[in-house]
Chain A
């Protein structure tokens, strides 16, 4: 009997600690399996997209810019008509505090996007919706500050 109680109790303690750790992770930090890669295929595979911060490390509270390189599936620079930028903090339910936009097409599929501001630490999601002759597609990137 006592052994059974003991086992139940130990199990309860383990569950409590694990639950508490999990709660801390959920509320305080980004998920562990977050895809932090800065080069990837767009959602439906139309483009190979890579994102490069122009300032490293990315700092909180000051304007930041990125270079976004967009190539078609066969590796050629995409003839980009438009890039829409959205994003925010999934854990806090708010969007971007600024309106970043493309300020220069630098050739070879490369675009400068200025005006990002990360107002707090944590997990930020950036979504780039690309319009080019192959079609409209989007690529999501995760940034953790």
Chain B
């Protein structure tokens, strides 16, 4: 009996060793602690400046932008505002598979928290600033359904004084038709063509400034501290996370999987849980919608956008436009690649993916574990083995990013 005593001691030690590395807050390795700290909100710097918008941090512009954001008159039929889809009470999104302004669109409405940190906007990054993004849905027939001459007249009529206090004199719009746009209906396009270069430039400038005011407002929409951040803060100072910072055993397991073998933090990294890039993760297209090429199309559209960083309505110097100048314009990785969304608040905004293809968080986790092959261009995902408990643990962890 005595001869077996050392063996028993070793057995207990081995079991204890593995137990220590499987459960409990004290079980994180130094590398894991470093990764957890990199995901916490404390690691989030101040929003970067936007050199393309000199009004980006102007409080008066932000106040005007907030007004415009909620004004349904900023639309073709007077019934759609930015907040129709970007709803304040729902993380600035709408909970629908695909956004609906005047009609159904082809893609999911994106939430706005922390949007000031983005380099690219929309699921395919077809705009390179928040102001250029903000004006795009205004002329889209299925969203606001307006035209830029109308918006210029509307600004002068309804917000002229506030506009001029921020942006300076409005252009002479007396000879500008009520409705005109290089996009939109044939009559609007014809009216646009009939305008002088100076008139078109004046209207474009007012249109760009509408976007710049809205950007100034949207830059204030920041991620809020969650239970995960409180947990990470306690961990960082070597304290035991308790009360509103405590994690259950399942949540700890989920966090370990997230930053470990489930490979989630490969793309969902940093304090916003996104690398800000575009990836093809094999999400199936919606059969009833036209083909969506994702980033492959987005790079062409942003390069051609007259309101991009290098365009005449941008306040940036060319050297400030690095993202656009050094953008990856070709390669296999772009086809059907879509932007990695932030996971903050993710449990509170089903359905998931760029066209709302996946209804629940659990199914989204299953998608990443199963890594289905993508019909045309291949997915970047590699299948992983996740037990039922592992799936539950990941879902439990993701919920800590919203409470």
Residues on A with C-beta less than 8 A from B11 are 9
Flag if B380 contacts A117 (CB, 8 Å): no
Q: Please pick, from B29, B277, B380, the residue contacting A97 in the complex, using a CB distance under 8 A.
A: B277
A145 to chain B, nearest CB (A): 11
Flag if B327 contacts A60 (CB, 8 Å): no
Q: Please pick, from A13, A63, A98, A120, the residue contacting B10 in the complex, using a CB distance under 8 A.
A: A13
Residues on B with C-beta less than 8 A from A114 are 322, 325-326
Residues on A with C-beta less than 8 A from B14 are 13, 16
Q: Please pick, from A29, A115, A120, A121, the residue contacting B325 in the complex, using a CB distance under 8 A.
A: A115
Flag if A119 contacts B277 (CB, 8 Å): yes
Residues on A with C-beta less than 8 A from B17 are 13, 17
Flag if A94 contacts B4 (CB, 8 Å): no
Residues on A with C-beta less than 8 A from B328 are 96-99
Residues on A with C-beta less than 8 A from B13 are 13
Selected interface stretch from B169-177, B192-200, B268-276: B268-276
CB of A43 closer than 8 Å to a CB of B:
no
Residues on B with C-beta less than 8 A from A10 are 10
B377 to chain A, nearest CB (A): 14
Flag if A61 contacts B326 (CB, 8 Å): no
A142 to chain B, nearest CB (A): 19
Q: Please pick, from B3, B31, B331, the residue contacting A2 in the complex, using a CB distance under 8 A.
A: B3
Flag if B326 contacts A120 (CB, 8 Å): no
Contact A2-B266, Cβ < 8 Å, known A13-B10, A101-B326, A120-B275: no
Chain A residue with Cβ nearest B18:
A16
Residues on A with C-beta less than 8 A from B329 are 99
**Bitwise interface map of B from 275 to 315 toward A, beta carbon under 8 Å scored 1, else 0:** 11100000000000000000000000000000000000000
B74 to chain A, nearest CB (A): 33
CB of B333 closer than 8 Å to a CB of A:
yes
Flag if A117 contacts B331 (CB, 8 Å): no
Contact A95-B333, Cβ < 8 Å, known A6-B7, A63-B323, A120-B275: yes
**Bitwise interface map of B from 375 to 388 toward A, beta carbon under 8 Å scored 1, else 0:** 00000100000000
Flag if A61 contacts B275 (CB, 8 Å): yes
Cα separation A20 to B261 with both chains bound (whole Å): 13
Cα separation A115 to B331 with both chains bound (whole Å): 17
Residues on B with C-beta less than 8 A from A16 are 14
Flag if A92 contacts B266 (CB, 8 Å): yes
Q: Considering the complex, which residues of chain B in the window 22-72 have a beta carbon less than 8 Å from any beta carbon of chain A? A: 29, 31, 38, 48
Flag if B7 contacts A2 (CB, 8 Å): yes
Q: Considering the complex, which residues of chain A in the window 91-145 have a beta carbon less than 8 Å from any beta carbon of chain B? A: 92, 94-101, 114-115, 117, 119-121
9 tightest CB-CB pairs across the interface, nearest first? Answer: A115-B326, A63-B322, A119-B275, A2-B3, A98-B326, A99-B328, A28-B31, A120-B269, A97-B277
Given A6-B10, A13-B13, 16 further pairs, Cβ under 8 A? A2-B4, A6-B6, A9-B7, A13-B10, A16-B14, A20-B21, A24-B29, A27-B261, A28-B31, A29-B31, A61-B276, A63-B323, A96-B328, A99-B327, A115-B325, A119-B275
- Can you name 9 A-B residue pairings with CB atoms under 8 Å? A5-B7, A6-B7, A13-B10, A13-B13, A13-B17, A24-B31, A94-B380, A101-B326, A119-B275
